[in-house]
Structures are given as C-alpha cells and as structure tokens.
Amino acid sequence: MVRNLSIIACALFMSAFISVDAQEQVAVSAKPRQMEKSKVAGYDRIGDALYEVIYEYRVQTKVSGKLSASSEGSTITVRSGQAETPEGQDNTVSDTYSTILQFGTEQARFLDYLAYRVDSLANAGAPEDSIAKANNDVDRSAFYFDPVIFQNWPEGSMTVDDVLVPGTFTYSENMAHGWTFGDGQKEVCGYPCQEAKTSYGGREWTVWFAPSIPSNVGPWKLGGLPGLIMEAQDAEGIHHFTATALRKAACPIVRVQDAGRDKTQRDRFIQRKNASGGNSLNNIPTESITSISVFKNDNGGTIKVNGRVTVRMTNHTWVPLELE
C-alpha cells in the first residue's frame, strides 16, 4: 500500500541518537551550541556540523567529441573534434563525482569533496602550501560538483551558491517537498532504508532514507523525510547519489566569502545555466575576460577565468540535474 504525504522540512534532528556504524549509538544534543564567528579569514561560519556523509554521485552521459584548449593573451581557443566511438559500440559513459553532506542539529551543507577539503584545511589552520595544493586540485579536476547547497539556512529554506561563467551567483528556495511513501526497503551503507518518491526540477526521484538516523536532510537539494536520505536516483537512471560512508564531523559548516557573488532567482538561474550548456564559454562576453589560466588533464582540461571561475572542458555531454 502506498501512502501520499506532504512532508514539510522540519526539525527532525532533535531525536536522541544517530548510528554511525550501525553498531555504535552516538548521542545528539537537542540543544544547539552557540554559533561562533569564523576565526578563519575568508569564511563565514554558518553553524556546527555533527556528522558527515560521503556520497558517490554518478551521471550517465555520452562522449560527444574530442576537446583541447589553449590560451594566448586574452584569447581562449577551444577545439572540438568528432567522437572516436568504434562502430556498433555505445558511447554512453558514467561520470563519477565525490561529494559530501555535513549536518548538525540545524543546518546542513552539500558540496564537492575537493571544496570541502580546502575548507577543512583552512579551518584547521593547515600550512598555506597545503591549502594551495588543495585549491590546485579543485582547479584541475575534470568532474567537479559546482553548487554548494545550504539546507535550512535561512530556517525553512535553502541557499544555493553556484557558478555561471564568468560569475558566481546565489539564490534561495523553499525546502519543502511533497513525498509519496512506498513499501520498498533496502540496505544502504549498512543502514535499513525505506523508499519514497517526489517530483523536483522536472525529474521524478526515488530515494531511500534511513529512519534510524534522525535527520531530515540528504544529498543535493533533497530532504524533508523522517530520516537521512542515503540514496537517490531519477526515474531515467541518469543521476544517482549513493552514501558510501557516515562519520563524525571534522569541520564546521562554513561559507566562502565572495564579494562578487550576485543575488538572483532560482528559476532565472536554472534557465540561463541550462541554455548555456552548463558552464561553457559560449556566452562569455570578450570584454568581461581579464585573465585566464589553462590546466590540462586526461579529460581535456580546465580554464580558470578572471582568477575566480573554473570552466571544465570535457568531451562528455553535460546533463543538468534540473530541467526546469
């Protein structure tokens, strides 16, 4: 039997225990600690994190051609060739990203693991050369999850920081989702999970949440269930998030300071990003480019524009998470 429920994001963090390894029970304080000012230059402290979940994010896409990039002065040259697919062979490929969700009694943050690594090193007071190396890994990564999503910040809403070349943007949206509970059950990362479905961003999503983990958040923008979302997949099987580890938090929930981050509306941003084919160079006005750096990797390369925004040149077709 299927039960239709409209579940509004709520403070389900207040339950008594969270299981870390399906054996150990760890107490979660119902009283959040007082928020402190960030002691690290370049960051704002949003809140405390108690736990972190590592998610493998896989995207089914296709090889569209060969790419190479070069730069000279203020000119970026991108060359594209035909895809080299043997006759009769499918050119479908799976791109894999490493992402992380931090969550506490109030807020949560979801982002690329490489970005988290930079933040955790900075907040731990690591040597500058270690932080520079971590930033270099971000610049050179072919598969990098650009948006940073803050769930329940401000309360009841999400704040999303994202990139649309050549700038950075931020917008807010409601956190509520309408969910349908199913009878399906499975184990994910060692935790018994229950099935639920929802529609969001023009896609139908099936998720598996763990009632034993009293958190109403999950990967990306998915949340609002009575348990942490451990796995999520769209109906076409294109986008797939899977939890691979749950651990105690090592870093507070912080936000990178960016004076150049422009405020926008969610619908306007999604429309513009999808029209541009993700973070392509197609819509960059030449006069907006003040500097460029080109990094080569096995998948084509990356281009850093104006020292702030990285364009990842790959011959894999970009498939948006949100269609509308």
Tens-digit pLDDT profile for residues 108-159: 999 999 999 999 999 999 999 999 999 888 877 878 999 999 999 999 999 9
What CATH number was assigned to the domain covering residues 3-23+36-63+92-261? 2.50.20
pLDDT tens column, 250-291:
899 999 998 889 999 999 999 988 988 765 566 566 666 666
154-159 contacts, C-beta under 8 A, 24 or more apart: 155/106, 156/9, 158/221
Residues 6 or more apart in contact with residue 169 via CB below 8 angstroms: 161, 162, 163, 261, 262, 263, 264, 269
Dist. CA 266–CA 202, nearest whole Å: 14
Is residue 73's pLDDT more than 80?
no
Q: Map residue 133 onto helix, strand or coil.
A: helix
What one-character DSSP code corresponds to residue 185?
Answer: E
Q: Give the pTM.
A: 0.81
130 CB-side CA count, 13 A = 11
